[in-house]
Structure formats: C-alpha cells, structure tokens
Amino acid sequence: MIITNFSPVLFKDVIVNENAVKHLLAEVKNDRIGHAQMFLGPEGSGKLGLAIAFTQYLLCDNPGKKDACGECPNCQKMNSLTHPDLHFAFPVPISKADKVATSDDLRSEWNQLILKQPHFGVENWLDHIGSEGKNPIIGVDESRAILKKLSLKSFSGKYKVMIIWLPERMNAQAANKMLKLLEEPPQQTLFLLLCDNNEAILPTIISRTQTLTVPALKREQVADYLSKKNGIDKAVAHSIASLSQGNMVEALNAAHGDKDQLAYFDLFVKLMRSAYAANPNDLMAISDEIAEIGKQRQKNFIKYGLHIFRESIIMNYMKDQLLNLREEETAFLNKFAKFINNQNITELMEEFNEAHYHLERNANAKILFTDLVIKLTKLVRKGV
Ligand SMILES: [Zn+2]
C-alpha cells in the first residue's frame, strides 16, 4: 500500500486545474459565492481536494489572497477534517445488518481515506470499507441527516459547508428531498456537489446549482504526483500518466496495481497452464481462485491478460519492437508466446474484453470466470 499524507486544506497542495482555483478565488473576492455549486468534471480531476481547500479558505480566520493561512484554529480543525462546519454526504452501501444507513456511519473511514490521499473512485471507497462489489447510494435517510445538520448554527460563524460526493448516486427519494433543500437552503449554508456525470441527476437539481467545470488533469500533473508523492519511478510515472489520460484515480490504481502485477502473473501462468492441460479439477480451482480476488483486481487481471496477449503477438511477429515485460514474464513468454498467434488472438482478445465489459456491469464473477476458463481451453488449443 502506498501511503501519502495529503494536506487537504490548502489550494497550493491540491492537484486540480488551476483555472478552477482562480474561479473560486474570484467568487470570494467579488463576494459572489453561489449557495449551491456543482463541480462537474471527469473522475480523477481533483474535485474533492478542491472542495475541501475551498471550504478551508472560506472558514479560515486570516485568508490571504490565494490561500487559507493553514494555522488559525479553524484551519487546524480542517487539517484533521473534523471542523464542525465541514459536512460530507457520500454514497454508502446501505445495510441493516452492518448498521449503515448514512455517511455518518462511515465518516471516520471516509476521513481516513481522504487524509491518505483525496483521489479515489467509488471502487476504492468500497475497497477501503471492505464492501467490494456493493452498490453504494445516497438514500433518503441521508437527505434527512443533511437537513438536520444544516439546521444547526454555524460553529465558526461563517459557512456551514455540505460537500456531496457523487450526487448522481442519490436515489429518487433523496433527490426530491435534496431539491427542496436547494430551493430553500438553511441560512449560511454552502452546497458543493462533486459530480462525475450529470446525466444521472435531476435537471431541476442542476438548474438550482451553479456549475463549475473542472477539466481532466494534465498528464504532467499526474506524472509529477506519482513520482514526487508516491515514489514511482519517473519513466513509469510518465507512462502511467499518459495511459490514464489525466485521470488521477485510474493512474493511482495502475501505480498501486503495479505491485499486484506479480500476483497477476502467477495467476495468469496458472490459468494458461490449466487451460492447456484442460484438467477439469484444475480449471474449477483456478476459476474459484480468480472469483475470490474482488472485482477491481479481476478487472485488472483481465487487463493484464490482454497486455500479455499483445506482448506475445509482438514477440511472435514484430521482433524488432521493444517488449514491455519483466524478466519472469519474458521467460514465460519465451515458451508460451508461440501458442498465441493468428489462429486465436482475435478470439482471445474478444473473450477478455467481453469479460471486462461484464465485470464493469457487475456480472457474477464465479459464473463469468468458469465460462471464460472453459472457452480458454478451446482457444489455447487452437493456437497449437
Ligand atoms: Zn486559517
């Protein structure tokens, strides 16, 4: 696990499009702070850090022209994300058995994740709370909780800020209650809705918010963050940054995933050997093994498989091209690559791409991988 200690509170430390910061500073300077704002931008564009830094700036006792002071009592409370005027609402896997109904039930886990680093997606969040594969939402209890929190008096005498992460995950009931809140907001409140995709949001909610577009990060911003804050080798950081197209969440997942690569390699070798030998017991065992590693890793594993297939083709047909492989992978492919050829490559890639597609749509992993393994036994033999 890569741990970086995020100081979430200052604009200068937030990795985000700089125009978005300028826009917010201008709002404050011109005294035109919209009471409900939607930060709209693709996943991994740094909206959460931006929202927290903005809150910090608004609550700070001695804000400068460009940033909060970082030291006053309000700033200190923000440092640990425990400022009483800082509120969050975020999707949770609602479960009576686990006693989870609203964000409050998982607030300490939430703070912990942000303080580690603020660029994460829904799957990282679920992974963090041990709820992989669940479908988290913002439910109606959450809207009630929001109303209750915002009807309290402001602690600092300034804004009460409600940061709503992924409002597109509000269910209909919650959204309707939310709409009323936005129509008649309690005094001194500021709503910041951090939205990846506004197609799933009621148009009436959108029309009651002011939209700030937050574009994807520049590749250099991502590469810098990976190498300086995460200790990733510069060249690797650059290649990850360009593959992730400015999506910091994806880039970090890839960087963390690098450590999983070895595990994927072992699994892949086992999978291909079992497929080649076509021993039913081995095949069941391997599909069980993959079914248990969790959704995110399954998707990464599938991507890893696609990568190995491509490298096999390069090894077989494009000898002058550089291979992008580790030592142990090269050793394996020196024997295995010949089975991946014109006879089966298209179908192999198709099957893996399809598996990825279905995983994204929450297919049952056990069924999916059993099916894939059976297909592989035929496809691997086709290449012999
Ligand atoms: Zn301050």
pLDDT at 260 over 50: yes
Distance CA 225, CA 252 (A): 9
Coil vs helix vs strand at 205:
helix
Cα of 62 to ligand 1 centre, how many Å?
Answer: 5
Distance from residue 49's CA to the centre of ligand 1 (Å): 17
**What's the CA-to-centroid distance between 64 and ligand 1, angstroms?**
9
CA 370 to chain centre: 28
Q: What pTM was computed for the model? A: 0.72
Distance 86 CA to ligand 1 centre (A): 14
Residue 8 pLDDT: 57
Q: For the segment 332-359, what is each residue's pLDDT rounded down to a tens digit?
A: 999 999 999 999 999 999 999 999 999 9
Determine the Cα–Cα distance for residues 246 and 240; give it in Å rounded to an integer: 10
According to CATH, what is the number of the domain 247-382? 1.20.272
Is the pLDDT at 3 greater than 50? The verdict is: no
Whether the per-residue pLDDT at 11 is higher than 90: the answer is: yes
Q: What is the model's pLDDT at position 1?
A: 36
pLDDT of residue 252: 93
Averaged over 142-154, what is the pLDDT? 94
Residue 217 has pLDDT above 60, yes or no: yes
What is the per-residue pLDDT for 4?
46
Give me ligand 1 centre to Cα 67, in Å.
9
- Which phi and psi angles does 86 have, rounded to 5°? -100, 115
Residue 7: pLDDT band with limits 50, 70, 90? low
Average pLDDT over residues 34-63: 97
Which of 60-69, 132-141, 294-303 shows the lowest per-residue confidence on average (mean pLDDT)? 294-303
Lowest mean pLDDT across 69-73, 255-259, 272-276: 255-259
C-alpha 68 to ligand 1 mean position (Å): 5
- pLDDT for 245: 87
Q: What is the pLDDT at residue 258?
A: 66
Gap from CA of 106 to ligand 1 centroid (Å)? 27
Average pLDDT, the chain: 91
Which CATH code of 3.30.300.30, 3.40.630.40, 3.30.110.40, 3.40.50.300 fits the domain covering 11-216? 3.40.50.300
How far apart are the C-alpha atoms of 360 and 298, rounded to whole Å? 10
Give the residue extent of every domain in the chain: 11-216, 247-382
pLDDT at 243: 82
